[in-house]
Structure 1
Amino acid sequence: MTAAHGVPAGVQGTLDDLGTPLSEVTFVVVDLETTGGSAADSAITEIGAVKVRGGEDLGELATLVDPGGPVPPFITALTGITTAMVAAAPRIESVLPAFLEFARGCVLVAHNASFDIGFLKAACAEHGYAWPAFPVVDTVDLARRVLSKDEVPNCKLGTLARFFRTSAEPAHRALADARATVEVLHGLIERLGSFGVTTLEEMRGFAKAPTPEQRRKRHLADGVPSAPGVYLFEDASGEVLYVGKSGDLRSRVRSYFTGSETRWRVREMVGLAESVRTIECATGLEAEVRELRLIAEHKPRYNRRSKFPERAIWLKLTAEPFPRLSIVRECRADGARYLGPISSRRQAEEARAALHEAVPLRQCTQRLTLRLIERGRARSCALAEIGRCGAPCDGRESPDAYAVHVETARAVMEGDVRPVVAAAQVRIDRLAAELRYEEAAAQRDRLAAFVRAAARGQRLAALARLPELVAARPAFDGGWELAVVRYGRLAAAGTVPPNAHPRPYVDALIATAETVFPPAGEAPGGVALGDPPSAGATAEEMECVLRWLDLPGVRLVEVDGAWTCPAHGAEGLRAWIDRAYEHPYDRGGEGVPGGRPGGGRGRGGTARPRGRLPLK
């Protein structure tokens, strides 16, 4: 149809073209309480949901959920939800149908939606329920777009609730937090009006759209090569703001200037950046190692991990007349024995407790000498009175008898972990037989912390002792990736073209590899001492190398020295420990303590390895 004079007539748009007005959208605002932070090993303890449309409440759904095991104490302290409260509650498989029906045809809203929706999706997948294709709105994303740093210091629910002066206060309980999120959502929708956002489609796109600053700085990605390597965002003064790695530098750097980058800290970093510097690398391993080194060197304010490799935690058998176990942050060549590095202080404390169960070393912190003991100036402690310590402080245990315990502890830290495993298994079996399942689980956790720390240290120490290791891995183009590792440090990386003989390339790479001096001292069970590049490597760098060496198809070309782990070390027990956490909890099962009959994995119950570990 045409109008007069041949001009096309206007076509009236439909409501679908305009989108769904926000006043007509039915939102279901949901909040969960759980036993932990990951859907893989935690469970839901409470669901709260509020249905609203046009500012009017249409209904609420709230229920406690039995997680299938005890509620951890720190969760009880945070939420007030106890194991007794959820004992009579319905299981999640009974609650899910009611929630899915309540939310049918609605838009799901949550504060930090990836957390809540992730738990709900995992529960549906575990119990055979199809997850509907709900549209999802995250109030965190909206808040980051419409509120400035001057208005709110962060986007936590409590902060936003105070800013919008909600009548409902967040209380770490599902329904209360859902009600508060409803009012926060309404406040954010009011703010969206000033941006011309009036439909659901516009709102969802607005939350993910790149900021004006991101769009303005797209030119920083010009000229970035399509190659593996490392990139550094720098400000006007040349300070490194952020370091990252990628197999394709060009596509990765360009993604920082699109709507796919939603992390508010990264968006803030992009606003400060004035240049992007790139370093091309021969292989992905070289890129990963260079990233770690650059982060440790520059300590960029927007990198959250690997900034302080020197802050590793160690378990130390002190070098003094009556040695004891101490948790330290520095490993020195002082004649002491070290176990580690360990990922956290809590894990170090668990590992120390496991070693104390096997070897009755003193646990007091006083410095003991024979002279102090002879003069009666040393203080005894309660552990001596209950038989947990031989009490060398008051002369009840002779220096020679105490030296036997020290030698046992030293042998354990150097590689023979059998005494610790045997002592832990005896206690686990006894506690399980007495139906003291939570205490048995605590013993299992101590043993697991010790085994993992010892296995990590022994793997790293074995690599750190090697003067040189040359390995090759098949490349995607038909050639080879090469790596030269000296004393645990990546000294060179290169490639062999397809159909070329590798020997000349290997020889050239070895000849041009970085010189790495032997470490000044070595931490038994741990990494080499010294500051890179003069000696050794960090634990994280060696773990990168070990992961690469474990990949399918990797071949050892040359090894200078013996690359071995202790015969009775912890490396062979890691899989056994991991299986202890995978078995279902079953009171009547094959020696597995804890939980409820038929309970699922990761429900906060207790478990231990099936059967006994052969210790000889």
Structure 2
Amino acid sequence: MTVDPPSVSAVVIQPTFDDLGRPLLDTTFCVVDLETTGGSPAKGSKITEVGAVKIRGGEVLGEFQTLVNPDESIPAFITVLTGITDQMVIDAPRIDEVLPSFLEFAHGCVLVAHNAPFDTGFLRHAAGELGISWPRFEVLDTAVLARRALLRDEVPNVKLATLAAKFSEVTPDHRALTDARATVDVLHALFERLGSLGVTTFEEVRDFTAAVSPAQRAKRHLADHLPDAPGVYLFRRSDGEVLYVGTSRSLRRRVRSYFTRAETRSRMGEMIALAERVDPVVCATALEAQVRELRLIDEHRPPYNRRSKFPDRQSWIKLTSEPWPRLSIVTRVLDDGADYIGPFRRAAAESAVAALHESFRVRQCTTRFGKVPRRSPCALAELGRCLSPCDGSVDAERYGDEVQRLRDALHGDPAAHVVRHVEDKMTQLAAAERFEDAGAWRDRLAAFLRGSRRSQRLRSLTEQPQLVAAAPHEDGWEIHVVRHGRLAAAGILRRGTATWPWVESLVASAETVTPSHGPCPSGLVEETEAILRWLEQPGVRLIEGSWASPRWSTARHLDRYEVDRSMLAV
């Protein structure tokens, strides 16, 4: 689908910074350490010293250090450990002065600490006691990071003193600023270690520190060959079976996250255990990636994609083409001269048919009649809900008029017949205080309106032999060729490239698409709807062809009948 026209240099897709994450070199960190009177702020322990170092790109931007008067005597064993005495803090500022100054120093930074829950726990507790809103700091724990990045034979434990002896010239001494400086060196050393593993952004570091099983992390190499480009990825077993299909704007970063981030979904953990390789499909645009994902799921039916479990469970409402037409619910659209709307979920299709049968007196029996049927009338005919062609009560012309009104409601504006008729019934039921029954008819009408709107939207695109549309892209324009509702080609027109030769080359190499029948697209319904959503985005321009979303018909009635989508989504 992606095309590189021969007259144009290859298109290079540069993901945005949001897609790639925040590079570690451009992220500002505030490494903090505290000294306290004890181990728990909840049990009354207080802060006695705050030390912090602000760094970015390996350079120190500033330091913060102050003793803190805890307003209580420092225990003797703490003095022995830290060297901080009551005399040293008697003239020091209290926490209500220190904390605002520290928060200003750390503003906009990622907080880093060794055994971070201890330090951040004291700071958050102090903020709560002072009525200060705690900022939503992102926090990185060097102890956890070291535990994930280092092997047992490298360091016996991840205590700060142990790590500093290996990675720093600073010796921790239980004073806040000294320990913070040692933590800075440890952090830089760990970043260098992760860099050799391809971890270069803060988001990747954060994922790396998540709880991941050794077996899961051992498969991280499966992402090494993937590009930082948008596209689709396929997890496969050793025999080539596709286990899972996904899409991302950065294939390598997304796939790597499966092996460096805790996966809470048990089925995905099971999938990762089975996977032996990951195949990429690089795409030019996000729409192409979305479409390819849908097609690959439909082709392979991967067991770990929820959308592939029941891919064929969609229904269409059909107005048959026979001497005495009727409504039926089918799973396929054929080239048989019949009228179709949909697709629906099965329950929604049944509700929609009930609304139509309430509005039009077409037969509901499944018997095949000749041109002059002769049978006994059914109960519906006796109740006046069917024109009763079975016993000759109606001629073909009058029955044909009823069918034509039904056909008009299916393909045009249903207000004159379906909406008005069902609303009258709802009003009668409500007047009789039969509110549940009125609500049931509201739901049936909504099911029909949703399916009718979906059908009209699909038809608006499937009837177009070719559309060429463009949308702004950071490198120029993304161009898509759409034929009969199917994406036939996609590419990026770079700035400075001659437009028409490039577009003509893209169109000439686009996939040939054979039209389908009725509203059913030449491909997956979900693909056509993804294209429709893209076409409706602000800034999209048509280069060739014409298309308009049919908002003038069914859609204008839906606002009054918005109900639980889980029951009536179609």
Question: Scaled by the length of structure 2, what TM-score is found?
Answer: 0.60
**In the alignment, what sits opposite 1:286?**
288
Q: 1:413 to 1:12 in 2, by over 3 A?
A: closer
Picking from 364, 377, 380, the partner of 1:380 is 377
| Aligned counterparts of 1:434 and 1:240: Cα–Cα separation in 2 | 57
Corresponding residue number in structure 2 for 1:556 = 542
Partner in structure 1 of residue 526 of structure 2: 540
**2:329 counterpart of 1:331:** no
- Distance across 1 between alignment mates of 2:488 and 2:276: 32
Q: Determine the C-alpha separation between the residues in 1 that align with 2:249 and 2:368.
A: 53
Q: Is the 8 A contact 2:313 2:346 kept in 1?
A: no
Task: Determine the structure 1 residue equivalent to 2:199.
Answer: none
**Contact persistence 1:311–1:330 (CA under 8 A):** no
Once the two structures are superposed, what CA deviation does each residue of 1:280-301 show, in whole Å capped at 9, x if it has no partner? 0000000000001111111111
Counterpart-to-counterpart distance in 1, 2:389 and 2:315: 28
- Residues 580 and 555 (structure 1 numbering): CA distance in 2 closer, same or farther, change over 3 Å? same
| Structure 1: runs of 5 or more not aligned | 1-10, 18-132, 134-204, 529-535, 583-601, 605-616
1:302 counterpart (301, 304, 310): 304
Equivalence for 2:253: 251
Aligned match of 1:424: 422
- CA positional deviation for 1:303: 1.1
Residue 568 of structure 1 and its aligned partner are, at CA, apart by: 6.4
Q: Structure 1 residues 438 and 12 mapped into 2: Cα distance closer, same or farther (>3 Å)?
A: closer
1:260-295 superposed Cα distances (whole Å, 9 cap, x missing partner): 421111110110000000010000000000001111
Provide the C-alpha distance between the structure 1 equivalents of 2:433 and 2:401, rounded to a whole number of angstroms.
34
Q: 1:455 aligns with which of 453, 456, 466?
A: 453
CA offsets, 1:487-512, max 9 Å, x none? 11101111122354533332221122
Amino acid at match of 2:233: Y
Specify the alignment match of 2:410 in structure 1: 413
Going from structure 1 to structure 2, the CA distance change for 1:369 and 1:469 (only over 3 Å counts) comes to same
Partner of 2:537: helix, strand, or coil?
coil
- What CA distance in whole angstroms lies between the structure 1 residues aligned with 2:456 and 2:220? 46
Q: 1:488 aligns with which of 485, 489, 493?
A: 485
User: Is the contact made by 1:416 and 1:566 (CA closer than 8 Å) also made in structure 2?
Assistant: no
The within-5 A match list for 1:475-554 is 475=473, 477-519=474-516, 522-523=517-518, 526-528=519-521, 536-554=522-540
1:213, 1:270 within 8 Å by CA — same for their partners in 2? Answer: no
Offset of residue 387 of structure 1: 1.8
Quick one: distance in 2 between partners of 1:283 and 1:264?
31
Q: Which residue matches 2:239?
A: 237
Looking at CA atoms only, which structure, 1 or 2, has the larger radius of gyration? 2
In structure 2, relative to structure 1, the CA distance for the partners of 1:13 and 1:319 (3 Å cut) is farther
SS of structure 1 residue aligned to 2:306: coil
Matches of 2:468 and 2:230, distance apart in 1: 21
- C-alpha distance in structure 1 between counterparts of 2:230 and 2:301, whole Å: 22
- The separation in 2 between residues aligned to 1:13 and 1:289, in whole angstroms, is 60
5 Å-filtered alignment, 1:90-489, equals 209-306=211-308, 309-342=311-344, 344-370=345-371, 373-374=373-374, 378-418=375-415, 419-475=417-473, 477-489=474-486
Q: Per the alignment, in what secondary structure is the counterpart of residue 262 of structure 1?
A: coil
Return closer, same or farther for 1:449/1:400 CA change in 2, 3 Å cut-off: same
CA contact (8 A) 2:462 2:484 kept: yes
| Deviation of the 1:329 alpha carbon | 0.7
Amino acid at match of 1:569: S
Residue 252 of structure 1 and its aligned partner are, at CA, apart by 0.9
Structure 1 position 554, deviation (Å): 0.8
Q: Which amino acid letter does the alignment assign opposite residue 352 of structure 1?
A: V
Q: 1-side partners of 2:504 and 2:311: how far apart?
A: 32
Alpha-carbon offset, residue 422 of structure 1? 1.8
Q: What CA distance in whole angstroms lies between the structure 1 residues aligned with 2:352 and 2:264?
A: 39
Q: Distance in 2 between matches of 1:398 and 1:466?
A: 38
Counterpart CA distance in 2 for 1:319 and 1:411 is 15
Report the Cα distance in structure 1 between the residues aligned to 2:493 and 2:539, rounded to whole angstroms. Answer: 15
1:125-179 Cα offsets, whole Å, 9 max, x none, are xxxxxxxx9xxxxxxxxxxxxxxxxxxxxxxxxxxxxxxxxxxxxxxxxxxxxxx
SS of the residue corresponding to residue 366 of structure 1 reads coil
Give me the whole-angstrom Cα distance separating, in 2, the residues matched to 1:432 and 1:216.
64
In structure 2, relative to structure 1, the CA distance for the partners of 1:13 and 1:286 (3 Å cut) is farther
List per-residue Cα deviations over 1:486-538 (Å, max 9, x = no partner).
Answer: 1111011111223545333322211221122333xx22xx224xxxxxxx222
RMSD: 3.0
Residue aligned with 1:210, SS: coil
Structure 2 residue matching 1:257: 3-state secondary structure? helix
Task: Write the distance in 2 (CA, Å) between the matches of 1:448 and 1:229.
Answer: 37
The secondary structure found in structure 1 opposite 2:239 is: coil
| Deviation of 1:12 (Å) | 13
Question: 1:435: Cα distance to partner?
Answer: 3.5
> Is the Cα–Cα contact under 8 Å of residues 302 and 308 in structure 2 kept in the other structure?
no
TM-score by length of 1: 0.55
Alignment match, 1:577 = 558
Q: Structure 1 CA distance, aligned partners of 2:320 and 2:386?
A: 17
The change in CA–CA distance for 1:567 and 1:14 in structure 2 (over 3 A counts) is: closer
CA distance in 2, matches of 1:370, 1:518: 33
Q: How many residues align?
A: 367
Q: Secondary structure at the match of 1:289?
A: helix
361-370 or 223-232: bigger deviation = 361-370
User: Could you say which residue in structure 2 is the equivalent of 1:139?
Assistant: none
